[in-house]
Amino acid sequence: MDTERLAPTVGIVGSMLLAIAVAVPAVTVEAADGQVAAYYASGPVGISIVGMLALLEVIVFLSGKQARTDPAMASGLGVVLSLSMLGLATLWSVSIDPTVLFSFEQQYTWLTYHRWAVLGAAGVTFVGGAGYARSVL
Task: Locate the domains of the chain by residue range.
Answer: 3-136
Q: Which segments of the chain does DSSP mark as H helices, in order? A: 3-28, 35-40, 48-65, 71-94, 98-101, 111-136
Amino acid at residue number 3: T
What per-residue confidence (pLDDT) applies to 4? 79
pTM of the model: 0.93
What per-residue confidence (pLDDT) applies to 51? 96
What per-residue confidence (pLDDT) applies to 11? 96
- Those residues of the chain that have pLDDT short of 70 are 1
**Angle between helix 71-94 and 111-136 (nearest 10):** 160
How far apart are alpha carbons 111 and 68 in whole angstroms?
39
What per-residue confidence (pLDDT) applies to 5? 85
What per-residue confidence (pLDDT) applies to 132? 94
